A and B are shown apart, each in its own frame.
Chain A
């Protein structure tokens, strides 16, 4: 059981380049999330999805786009990368049951934008 898998694990971009981060979960979870983690800032929600074909903005959505075409996948896109987007990105998923609202996180993608 793989859980939540993020690819790639590391990436270096030049300013203005684009890329897509892929998140895949095999737990049949309805909800999926993208967070960024910066030193001293904790985990901040970028976008989230409550089901296949739906997406919503989180706390820091500017500069990012997302898509949830399949229930098991949640893609995070950077159309024109900026140095301020240097961060560690975490994907998470959950099953929206009030009895169990645990978030399952992937192992993260370290992104550097030069």
Chain B
């Protein structure tokens, strides 16, 4: 089955700096790569996703890049703010069909210091 490795496990940055979280996956057939943000005491929420037919996607201060050859994808957050502090999870799946299910990384605790 799919295996997703996520690094680092914790990340501390100063407000205004950039943050980068990296993930690698094992199954070359995976084609859907979402990122979820989990605030304290809440369930995870989708913040951005990318499919294997594109290399980069941006949404305001967040962006995701995908390198299918190397089987890795990254989340980039620019101009970080204290409200960006949360646990971030990457995930991978082979989308479509009746067996759709995500494999998650172990998560990264991001702390943005004011």
Which residue numbers of A lie inside 8 Å of B, CB to CB?
4, 31, 33, 40-45, 48, 50, 58-59, 90, 92, 94, 96, 98, 101-103, 105-108
Which residue numbers of B lie inside 8 Å of A, CB to CB?
1, 6, 9, 32, 34, 36, 41-46, 49, 89, 93, 95-96, 98, 100-107
Is there contact, CB below 8 Å, between B46 and A42?
A: no
Contact of B105 among A42, A90, A105 (CB under 8 A): A42
Q: Which of A31, A43, A105 has most B Cβ within 10 Å?
A: A43
Is there contact, CB below 8 Å, between A50 and B44?
A: no
A sample of 28 inter-chain contacts (CB < 8 A) reads A31-B100, A42-B89, A42-B105, A43-B89, A43-B107, A45-B101, A45-B102, A50-B98, A50-B100, A59-B1, A90-B43, A94-B100, A96-B100, A98-B95, A98-B96, A101-B34, A101-B49, A101-B100, A102-B34, A103-B46, A105-B43, A105-B44, A105-B45, A107-B41, A107-B43, A108-B41, A108-B42, A108-B43
